Chain A
Amino acid sequence: MRADTARAADGTDDAKQAIPENYPDGFAATAADRRALLVLSSLRGLTARRLLALSVSGPTASACLATIRRGAAGSESDRAFARRLDPDDVSSALEACGARSIAFDEPEYPRRLDGLKDPPAMLFVRGVDLREVDPVVAMVGARNCSPTGAEIARDIASGLAREGWWVVSGAARGIDAASHEGALEHERTVAVLGCGIDVTHRVAKRTLLGRIDRTGALVSEYPPGVPAEPFRFPARNRIVAGMAEALVVVEGAAGSGSLISADHAIDLGRHVFAVPGPVTSPLTHAPHELIREGAGLIRGPDDLLKDLGVSASGASRAALRSTRGLTPEEVRALDVLVTSMLPEVVAGKMGLTLPEAIALLTTLEIKGLVRNVGGRVEPVHVRAQA
């Protein structure tokens, strides 16, 4: 049912037509065709799915563009825009932001995307050659994630990247950002944007995207100037899922976009993994749902690497928690604090008075080992030591 809703967005008229699996051979064979694709990618109403449908009647990109300009397809505003837009403007804008275009039949185009029902005819890329980006794991999850969720995502991404895997995600805040951050430690991450390749749609993300741009790659199916709009994010998710051979869901509330990404991955026959959490937390709804449907349960990077057929190197199996510099009392408090607890519960279990327990927990907070969330204390997820 979820898959249906994901696809319902693509419109109703398409359903009547037979849609080919992929673009016809020679669709973007000539330079003129590639120039036509620059224009076609800029059209707001022309999804990859509609372009595929159009390619039945016109076997090249130029022919499709001509059809639209003639007024035989596409929306009113798209037709007007297609007539007006000069492909040279698009190429110079691409050049200005240091991006390149990759048509679906070029060697750099990720072949994994061919499995999608509606692969983008053209991708816009900044950064490393996409042929280098292999092997790849996609990571998705809640934007409003918990601090623990972010730490786990970061930990998994970092562990994957250290073992040579690339991490692809959607450049949103929350789990996406944490995954990118983790993988950035080993400079192996790709961000798929839901907007034009030149637009960094949120100022706060500028630094993160900037660093990904320098060490990894930014990918988008939209040429420069396309603004971020909500309807583009599900479309972006299919590229995130499509580029990777496995997908990890860290946190997601009921009905979250993570489930849509997981559906794409399942349709593509990719492995899906999910990180469990407390059943009482609303943010574990999506991962638990997926685990019940057969997704692999992973607790951290080691589980994932094992399931992917790579055994973790010894380094990541180092002691989980260093007890150096801690008093015996503090170590005992960390042993007691297995999950999120009220300070008085910690006090009760340790046989301390409440003020003593509060003081002890705050000392641990200063050392970065526990944190206070809404009046409860929880252990900080300690990362595998590198």
Chain B
Amino acid sequence: MYGRVLGVTVMGVVGHVLTVEAHIGRGLPSLTMTGLPGASVQDARDRIRPAVESSGLEWPLRRVVVNLSPGNLRKEGPGFDLPIAMGVLAASKQVPAGNLGRYAFVGELTLDGSLTATPGILSMAIAASRRGLAGVVVPAANASEARLVDDLDVVATSSLREVVAFLRSGNRPVGPTPPVTTHGGDDGRSIDLREVRGQARARRALEVAAAGGHNLLLMGSPGAGKTMLARRLATILPDLTRAEALEVTQLHSIAGVLSSPGLVGERPFRSPHQSVSLAGLVGGGSSLLRPGEVSLAHHGVLFLDEVTEFRRDAVEGLRQALEDGRVVVTRAVGSVEYPARFTLVAAANPCPCGYAGDARRHCPCPPNRKQLYRQKLSGPLLDRIDLRLDVPRLSKGELLGESPGESSPAVRERVQIARERQRARYASIGVSCNGQLPGPLARRQARLSASAEALLAKAVESLALTGRGFDRALKVARTIADLAGAEQTGADHVAEALSYRSAFDAGDLARAG
């Protein structure tokens, strides 16, 4: 007796539709699985029989062999419970074969036969749709995720019994069908740039960073407000497009961190702790591969607070993501790729005690310790941070005297327009914003006015600008010009761009010299 159903596995962010075959033959009652099942799939073996029996169905007391094909892909995840159970039920003729070939089955079973939420449903639904299947049978908890895929029949079920009923009679389980929701969204935004008191220069830097997709280093004493500022960068980035939102939702679904069902509408803000491992930051794991923080921050903001305290290997691991907008994780179980295009915001104290350059507190750190501290921030990472900013600790008077600034939506509007300009200009060279321009291209695309060039030449001398510092200033100046709607990059734009340097640049000089 033989049965055949379709399941889906996820490699990286891409779903693959697989065939689950079941054969019931003579022999002692047993369940054998072939076809490279991962540890989490092997785990399903003892779960499926109780689930089937609890649902009022019969488990064949014979030798059952289940094969997952193709056999060269490693299968991972608890989503195989349902297709394996269905394969066995199909082989024992307890469900009709009619619809079996047109639907993919996904879901984790409990011992009482109900279906629980399963990670990665969106990627699986996309795979099913690409394969041309009529629909997917998914746990009700994940249904709104699967419904994000157009023209796909989503059967939301809460138990194995309901799945069988659907196949036997075509009856869909009755239950509330929530509309496709976009959570987050404009009104749902809980934080706003307006809440930042004072720090006008830092707010301006956030706007420039958002407009040009530049990474940002915030340096300041404890209590200056670095974290508060970093959180608000995500609120002034342009709204997520639908394609971007789908990518973000996919990644969050796979990692199982989707906070509510439906499309993610807000740009993610991820703030991993200093103790994060390399695998935790860029993705990986030993058996079950999982996207890391860089991928969870895809299309959003990755915030590294106290960046000098992070493990060195973890910070070095960021380089590929910053360079290519993706990470490739290779392990014994295979190699997967996760998208990871994010804006990096790093925060650091200016020195070990944290008070160098502070107006009211004395910093006792000797220069050599300051130097050592600053060297902890690796050069290659620093090279990819275009904007560096000293964030001063404000006095009470400075905080209270300041009128509240603009709200996030007002700033976001300008950012959006500046981004449009860049997208139009760079359409032919495959980058979307100034922050992604490689150095030589930045020099060609800068369109400097004569006075701007004269100023830059002077700055190279008096500010001891390095080649890399020069390129960074060009890119940032171009963004400032885009924000101002200027065709040419003027001297004012260059001058402002040059102000986004910081004490960490001293390390820059040391390496150049």
Contact surface of A with B, Cβ cutoff 8 Å: 143-144, 173, 253, 280-283, 340, 342-345, 347, 354-356, 358-363, 365-368, 372-376
Contacts and interface: CB of A to CB of B under 8 A. Distances in A.
Given A343-B200, A358-B204, A366-B455, A372 B390 contact: yes
A355 B359 contact: no
B360 A374 contact: no
Contacts of B440: none
B499 A372 contact: yes
Nearest to A173: B367
B363 interface: yes
A358 B496 contact: yes
Contacts of A343: 200-201, 499
B499 A362 contact: yes
Interface string B444-455: 000000000001
B125 to A, nearest CB: 46
B391 interface: yes
A360 B493 CA distance: 10
A362 B359 contact: no
Contacts of A374: 220-221, 350, 356-359, 390, 392, 503
B366 interface: yes
Contacts of A355: 204, 480, 484, 492, 496
A375 B484 CA distance: 23
Contact of A362 (B365, B394, B484, B495): B495
B186 interface: no
B58 interface: no
Nearest to A282: B362
Contact of B495 (A143, A173, A345, A363): A363
B487 interface: no
A356 B492 contact: yes
B362 A354 contact: no
Interface of B: 198, 200-202, 204, 220-221, 224, 350, 356-367, 389-392, 394, 398, 402, 455, 458-459, 462-463, 480, 484, 491-493, 495-496, 498-499, 501, 503
Contact of B200 (A253, A340, A344): A344
Contacts of A340: 359
Contacts of A361: 499
A249 to B, nearest CB: 16
11 contacts: A143-B366, A144-B365, A281-B360, A282-B362, A344-B200, A354-B201, A358-B499, A365-B499, A366-B495, A374-B350, A375-B389
A367 B455 CA distance: 10
A301 to B, nearest CB: 26
Contacts of A143: 366
Given A173-B367, A361-B499, 17 more contacts: A281-B360, A282-B360, A342-B198, A342-B201, A347-B200, A354-B200, A355-B204, A355-B480, A355-B496, A359-B492, A372-B501, A373-B390, A374-B356, A374-B358, A375-B201, A375-B390, A376-B392
A347 to B, nearest CB: 8
A345 B455 CA distance: 25
B495 A375 contact: no
Nearest to A367: B462
A358 B201 contact: yes
B398 A342 contact: yes
Nearest to A353: B204
A145 to B, nearest CB: 11
A283 B362 contact: yes
A365 B204 contact: no
Contacts of A342: 198, 200-201, 392, 394, 398
Ranked 9 nearest A-B pairs via Cβ: A374-B357, A375-B392, A282-B362, A344-B200, A375-B390, A359-B495, A359-B492, A362-B499, A362-B495
Contacts of B462: 366-368
Given A358-B201, A372-B390, A280 B360 contact: yes
Nearest to B390: A375
Contacts of B204: 354-355, 358
Nearest to A364: B495
Contacts of A365: 463, 498-499
B455 A363 contact: yes
Query: Which of A144, A281, A283, A347 has the most CB atoms of chain B within a 10 A radius of its CB?
Result: A144
B361 A282 contact: yes
Contact of A376 (B359, B365, B484): B359
Contacts of B350: 374
Given A363-B455, A374-B392, A344 B498 contact: no
A144 B224 CA distance: 22
Contacts of B501: 372
Contact of B458 (A144, A281, A344, A366): A366
A144 B359 contact: no
B293 to A, nearest CB: 28
A373 B350 CA distance: 11
Contacts of B491: 359, 363
Given A365-B463, A368-B462, A144 B364 contact: yes
Query: Which of A355, A372, A373, A376 has the most CB atoms of chain B within a 10 A radius of its CB?
Result: A355
Contact of A366 (B221, B390, B398, B463): B463
A375 B498 contact: no
A365 B390 CA distance: 15
Contacts of B365: 144
Nearest to A253: B362
